Chain A
Amino acid sequence: MPEVPREPKRGNDSVPRTLLVALLVSLVCSSLVASAAVVLKPLQVANELLDVRKNILEVAGMFDPEGDINELFESVEPRVVELDTGAYRDDIDADEFDPEKARKDPDTSSVVPPELDVARVGRRANQALVYLVREQDEVTRIILPISGYGLWSTMYGFVALEADANTVADIVFYSHGETAGIGDFVSKPGWRSLWPGKRVYDGEGELRLRIIKGRVSADDPLADYQVDGVSGATLTGNGVSNLLRYWLGDHGFGPYLDKVRGGGPS
């Protein structure tokens, strides 16, 4: 059988040319992407910080759309709390403390025992940042960072308690990836307005605050400890109940809140 001579590939389609073009395109594109990421990073970090501060101001009841967020934030007092003991750690500078970094570092965090990890947080930093709002030196609100798993995503937010460390003043979730249109009720103002005045612990010190199915009935003796759920988003609602149970419980801010009720942590 006569051999059909194969046409040698020429010009653009030769192997060295193909490799060269692929290499050059990758180099140009990767340097474009890398420089955009590096140049814009400081702006993005500043935006995120500003967003977190805005949310803290909102639950503090101090947000003013006209005002400068960083300026307003000056009057909120951040403190570092040792979670196990509930005492303030004034030896740690609250402005320098990075909770997310502390959570990832094995030296400053611990694995949450699975039986306690109802909010699926995985690891927990040994310390946490709380924010205090004062009026004439009296603490009027205590703002605690909360996070936990809903249906799809970890939800991040803040809950503000009144000075009695038992009444909810406000709650906000600033970052989550729950189902748009259903599970994202956690970031809607209507649902948020159900929270002020709700209570966390009953007379026995039992943590009762949770989200129920459907609407809270006013005759229910536990109505003060319950918040409306959203049908179709039961698992997101359970996620919120669980993260409150974790962060307001013994493994979260429980010891700290005990100290606040007992006259203030040292």
Chain B
Amino acid sequence: MRSVAKSALLDPIVDDNPVTLHVLGICSALAVTTSLLPSLYMCVALTVVSSLANASVSAIRRVLPGSIRIIVQMTIIASLVIVVDESLQAFAFKTSRELSVFVGLIITNCIVLGRTESFASKNPVGLSFLDGLGNGLGYSVILILVATSRELLGKGTLLGYTIFPSVADGGWYNPNGMMLLPPSAFFVIGLIIWAVRSWKVEQVEEPEFLIHEVHRTEVH
């Protein structure tokens, strides 16, 4: 039992990471990662929503009618997201302005619904909570990596503190503005996926078809 709980919590961080292995939750990873601070808030928000949604769905899994299970899961997730969003506006006003709609969009983040549907609806409450927490942390690891590299290379700062003094301020670093634009988040996530799959070769998927064989008629 102990090792089951451990793997529910720790597997999603590298071995079963929702972003790098399942390539879920990319939209928000792209939008909020221009600087580190809003990304950290986003990580906390998603982790809270994902673990509580998993625990709640798991708690009612035995009485939940199959025909309405998805809409019930969405209702629970949406309610939790609204509570988190309202709390951010009350306690972290400035960051909630920066995150704008993206906290609300956690509702549509496929990691959360993916875990409630595939894990929490079949597993006990404690284990589901750990799975939600683990997946939230897995998402957070990637988000923090992406945000760190984007803020550092794009602005020369981390959490607003200067790390590389920029040329404009009399330093030596010429900030790479492209890192602040959305496509660079794709590049960074792509590089991370490449790195993880070179390290954990078992994550590399079988090709669905081979382009050369399909086009060369003599093969058949």
A and B associate in one complex: yes
Q: Contact between A33 and B65 (Cβ–Cβ < 8 Å)? A: no
On chain A, the residues within 8 Å of B87 by CB distance are 36, 40
Say whether B146 faces chain A, with CB atoms less than 8 Å apart. Answer: no
Q: Contact between A21 and B83 (Cβ–Cβ < 8 Å)? A: no
Say whether B172 faces chain A, with CB atoms less than 8 Å apart. Answer: no
Q: Which of B72, B76, B79, B93 contacts A47 (CB 8 A)?
A: B93
Nearest-neighbor residue (CB-CB) of A22 within chain B: B68
Given the interface pairs A12-B66, A21-B64, A47-B89, the reply to whether A36 lies near B83 with Cβ below 8 Å is: yes
Say whether B67 faces chain A, with CB atoms less than 8 Å apart. Answer: yes
Given the interface pairs A21-B63, A21-B64, A181-B181, the reply to whether A29 lies near B75 with Cβ below 8 Å is: yes
Please, how many residues of chain A have a CB less than 8 angstroms from a CB on the other chain?
24
For residue A109, give the distance in angstroms from its CB to the closest CB of chain B.
27
Q: Which of A25, A48, A181 contacts B72 (CB 8 A)?
A: A25
Chain B 71-113, CB-CB to A under 8 Å as 1, else 0, gives 1100110110011001101110110000010000000000000
Say whether A18 faces chain B, with CB atoms less than 8 Å apart. Answer: yes
Say whether A4 faces chain B, with CB atoms less than 8 Å apart. Answer: no
On chain A, the residues within 8 Å of B8 by CB distance are none
A25 CA to B60 CA, complexed, in Å = 10
Chain A 34-47, CB-CB to B under 8 Å as 1, else 0, gives 00110010011001
Q: Contact between B79 and A18 (Cβ–Cβ < 8 Å)? A: no
Please, how many residues of chain B have a CB less than 8 angstroms from a CB on the other chain?
26
A47 CA to B71 CA, complexed, in Å = 34
Instruction: Determine chain B's interface SS by DSSP, over half rule.
Output: helix
In chain A, residues 143-195, which have Cβ atoms closer than 8 Å to a Cβ of chain B?
177, 181
Q: Contact between A25 and B75 (Cβ–Cβ < 8 Å)? A: yes
On chain B, the residues within 8 Å of A70 by CB distance are none
Nearest-neighbor residue (CB-CB) of A11 within chain B: B65
Given the interface pairs A26-B75, A40-B87, A51-B93, the reply to whether A12 lies near B65 with Cβ below 8 Å is: yes
On chain A, the residues within 8 Å of B86 by CB distance are 36-37, 40, 44
Say whether B180 faces chain A, with CB atoms less than 8 Å apart. Answer: yes
Which of A18, A25, A37, A50: most chain B Cβ within 10 A?
A25
A44 CA to B96 CA, complexed, in Å = 11
Chain A 99-136, CB-CB to B under 8 Å as 1, else 0, gives 00000000000000000000000000000000000000
Say whether A1 faces chain B, with CB atoms less than 8 Å apart. Answer: no
A22 CA to B66 CA, complexed, in Å = 12
Nearest-neighbor residue (CB-CB) of A32 within chain B: B79
Say whether A17 faces chain B, with CB atoms less than 8 Å apart. Answer: yes
Given the interface pairs A32-B83, A40-B87, the reply to whether A21 lies near B75 with Cβ below 8 Å is: no
On chain A, the residues within 8 Å of B76 by CB distance are 25, 29
Nearest-neighbor residue (CB-CB) of B81 within chain A: A33
On chain A, the residues within 8 Å of B90 by CB distance are 40, 43-44, 47
On chain A, the residues within 8 Å of B91 by CB distance are 43
Q: Contact between A12 and B63 (Cβ–Cβ < 8 Å)? A: yes
Return 15 A-B CB contacts under 8 Å, by A number: A12-B66, A13-B66, A14-B65, A18-B67, A21-B60, A21-B63, A21-B72, A25-B60, A25-B72, A26-B75, A40-B86, A40-B90, A47-B93, A48-B93, A177-B100
Additional 7 contacts, C-beta under 8 A, given A25-B76, A32-B79: A12-B62, A21-B64, A21-B65, A30-B79, A36-B87, A47-B90, A50-B93
Q: Which residues of B contact A (CB under 8 A)?
A: 60, 62-68, 71-72, 75-76, 78-79, 82-83, 86-87, 89-91, 93-94, 100, 180-181
Q: Which residues of A contact B (CB under 8 A)?
A: 12-14, 17-18, 21-22, 25-26, 29-30, 32-33, 36-37, 40, 43-44, 47-48, 50-51, 177, 181
| Those 6 A-B pairs whose CB atoms lie nearest each other, nearest first | A43-B90, A29-B79, A47-B93, A40-B90, A36-B83, A18-B65
